[in-house]
Amino acid sequence: MTRLLIGALLLSSGCATTIRNVTAASLTEQGAYIAYWEGTCTFGCNAGDGKVRFCKLDPETNNLDCREQESLNVLLSRKAE
């Protein structure tokens, strides 16, 4: 009975996790384009959106600088209903 109550509480609480899955990557001399799917999952994944980031490595600091490609993300996102 306790397990049933805990399960019902978790279902009603709306706990969700954001999931990202890399779908493609392309390396260039300037950096890397990384395409991925991002969605919200609870006990199954809802429809998500495709997104693209451009990443460039700074050789002096060894840091990776990634920026969203907003113009591409608009094309890959689901249309509002």
Full-model pTM: 0.64
pLDDT at 9 over 60: no
pLDDT of residue 72: 84
Which helix (H) or strand (E) segment holds residue 54: the answer is strand 49-58
pLDDT-based confidence at residue 81 (cuts at 50, 70, 90) = very low
In our burial notation (b when 16+ CB lie closer than 10 A, e otherwise), range 58-81 reads eeeeeeeeeeebeebeeeeeeeee
CA dist., res. 69 & res. 34, Å (int) = 10
pLDDT of residue 67: 92
pLDDT-based confidence at residue 15 (cuts at 50, 70, 90) = low
pLDDT of residue 76: 81
CA dist., res. 20 & res. 29, Å (int) = 25
pLDDT-based confidence at residue 55 (cuts at 50, 70, 90) = very high
**3-class DSSP state of 50:** strand
